[in-house]
Structure 1
């Protein structure tokens, strides 16, 4: 952010002109091209997402307008935005429930493109990243396992990759793998040392293609929904062979891959969720402005003002937490506690926004006449995905135990 460093005049929060211009362009695109499609329920698929045949013309328009793959460097086909600029763009993009996928910045592709651009070799980027950036394929990040395997704690991962010459043979069980049903490119985290020491170098990351034998999608797991394209799937590995050339980073660097990917990915969730929270509040405000009960406009009732005032307050706190974490990531900091603070607060705020808006809109909010019920169902996952809220609370408690008053220091 412009003038974001301390100075004699204090802190500044103005966006650089080019980022403000980007915000306006994204907002105008969503208004003109995405919201009208969202409003037409015939454009939705059976999982409450945009139909793929409807999506592709919108993606082509976004590419033509230079609003495509914001997380990927320009040299690799993207917009090369800073994390701060992404925070601005993603918030505007998710004013529509279909916005992020139109701009190719929806999960899980968003995080996968980011980590491949940062960690993959040039040859791997040509083979595995470029098709995702171009929108020709989708991808999935394969980490979470059923108990007693790894979930929020990747150290518990049991899926095993054993080396046989220049090939790694994989066996194991994964589930809740977002987007797997439509993905062609996969990033897999597997155990390569069956007896790890305290260095936590027992995990390795690999790349594989959907057409390789030795693995299967057991089922697309039914959820509350709505769902990303490809759903949330259960996978089983029974001899999948991955060439050594398709190992991502070194043997034992799997935890590093997860940390690099999930740090920014958790924050991009917050960016998008803030857009949805603001949309929910806007729908509520439009309704109470025109709805009258017992001779009084709902918008004029003190109780209603208190509800929306509190919600506006929470959304703005979420924006500040998110932008601070984004700024720290741009400075090269891992921003672990800042990302955890944003994730905790924004996840709760998204649920509060949907719940408050439904309450104020009454039966209309509970119906499918608005997208509030969609946002409400979607919001419940926010406190679970990419680390449950309780895990992020423990991260903050541990950080405070180490840092004490330095927990609140200014600067990077």
Structure 2
């Protein structure tokens, strides 16, 4: 086993770190650079994106032939962690959710015509996108195959969609969508995936759902479908392949969340380290207190475990494996590590951490969603338990 990175990967890491430090991070201190929903203002973002493109740090998940960096999943892990050392980083490099996952899946399964029409504008940064899966109860949540209520029915040359989705990330700014809907009652082949434009008749955004925030560009919206017509050529893969499309998209997407969250966890720890190194109380630096050292040691320990879990899962994906249990392990651990890191940093910073004088309160509110998005902790623990039941002691085998 070799735990080193290549010279090319190390150069990528350092270039990304330098760009984040010099170009992106300084913008966090000026509230004028934020939009009304506490993300980077879109006009500020566009100027930074131009710089990222010029620096060759653009669309890391996209094929080189289409204008991306053509990186492997292990390379993503290295770059994304550095990118999200700033709260604005992933959006600047065009590797923020949901576009990141949509670019990846369309690169893998889109037809040449679909890639030209739907994928290329995403890679170029001309548009934003969303994926519409989650529904209000009793509709689709963590079990889309069994719970999906939105239906697509074939009528002549088109599919007609009726139903409702909610908590659709980025929908308010998206120009096009991946939509997953029920096309039959088959337990394994009952779902299909489609592409549609935001300005098509037969669908509307009913509301932008208020959340703890901060929000991604476009928020988290509820969408109503009332006779949306989608032509056959906008079907992704084949009829009944909707679950397969979601599996191809969501596995790597869950892991890219973890990559980015590690960056935020490291940033939180760095803010705590800087403050405790300089804050003196009762004649002693906070950093010299054993209680503080224990807290910081636990964070360093948990972040390192997270890095190993993420890189192992990334390596397996690069080998062509689905890495289901590895991704679930990483998702549970890193989501909780992010929350622990920022909570600890706020505690060590005291009232300063709770205020908007640092980005810790921003990260704290953002971090709470990590244990819910792309499968709640409990769902991933169930996956791990079921995998163990099926494999027994071989659950922990390295593979040869």
Q: TM-score over 0.5 for the alignment?
A: yes
* 1:126 to partner: Cα distance: 0.2
Alpha-carbon distance in 2 for matches of 1:185, 1:25:
32
Quote the residue 2:173 is aligned against. Answer: 182
Cα shift readout 1:291-335 (whole Å, capped 9, x = no counterpart) = 000111000000000000001100000000000000000000000
Say which SS state the counterpart of residue 327 (structure 1) adopts.
Answer: helix
1:344 has 2:335 as partner? no
TM-score by length of 1: 0.96
* 1:39 to partner: Cα distance: 1.8
Cα shift readout 1:335-354 (whole Å, capped 9, x = no counterpart) = 00000000000000000001
Cα shift readout 1:79-122 (whole Å, capped 9, x = no counterpart) = 01000000000000000000000000000000000000001100
Alpha-carbon distance in 2 for matches of 1:14, 1:393:
30
Cα shift readout 1:234-291 (whole Å, capped 9, x = no counterpart) = 0000000000010010000000000000000000000000000000000000000000
Determine which of 1, 4, 11 is the counterpart of 1:21.
Answer: 11
1:289 has 2:277 as partner? yes
* 1:77 to partner: Cα distance: 1.4
Which range moved further: 280-289 or 69-78? 69-78
Quote the residue 2:159 is aligned against. Answer: 168
1:84 has 2:74 as partner? yes
Cα shift readout 1:377-396 (whole Å, capped 9, x = no counterpart) = 00000000000110000000
Quote the residue 1:232 is aligned against. Answer: 220
Quote the residue 1:35 is aligned against. Answer: 25
1:266 has 2:254 as partner? yes
Cα shift readout 1:3-37 (whole Å, capped 9, x = no counterpart) = xxxxxxxx221101101000000000001100111
Quote the residue 2:183 is aligned against. Answer: 192
* 1:166 to partner: Cα distance: 1.3
1:254 has 2:245 as partner? no
Task: Map 1:50-61; keep pairs closer than 5 Å.
Answer: 50-61=40-51
Determine which of 61, 64, 72 is the counterpart of 1:74.
Answer: 64
1:406 has 2:397 as partner? no
Alpha-carbon distance in 2 for matches of 1:235, 1:181:
10
Alpha-carbon distance in 1 for matches of 2:354, 2:231:
51
Quote the residue 2:364 is aligned against. Answer: 376
Alpha-carbon distance in 2 for matches of 1:166, 1:80:
36
* 1:359 to partner: Cα distance: 0.3
Runs of 4+ in 1 over 2 A off after TM superposition: none
* 1:187 to partner: Cα distance: 0.1
Quote the residue 1:12 is aligned against. Answer: 2
Alpha-carbon distance in 1 for matches of 2:13, 2:135:
38
Determine which of 199, 215, 236 is the counterpart of 1:211.
Answer: 199
Say which SS state the counterpart of residue 183 (structure 1) adopts.
Answer: coil
Quote the residue 2:311 is aligned against. Answer: 323
* 1:182 to partner: Cα distance: 0.2
Alpha-carbon distance in 2 for matches of 1:87, 1:283:
22
Which consecutive residues of structure 2, in runs of 5 or more, have no partner in the other structure? Answer: none
* 1:75 to partner: Cα distance: 1.0
* 1:411 to partner: Cα distance: 2.8
Alpha-carbon distance in 2 for matches of 1:367, 1:287:
14
Alpha-carbon distance in 2 for matches of 1:250, 1:244:
10
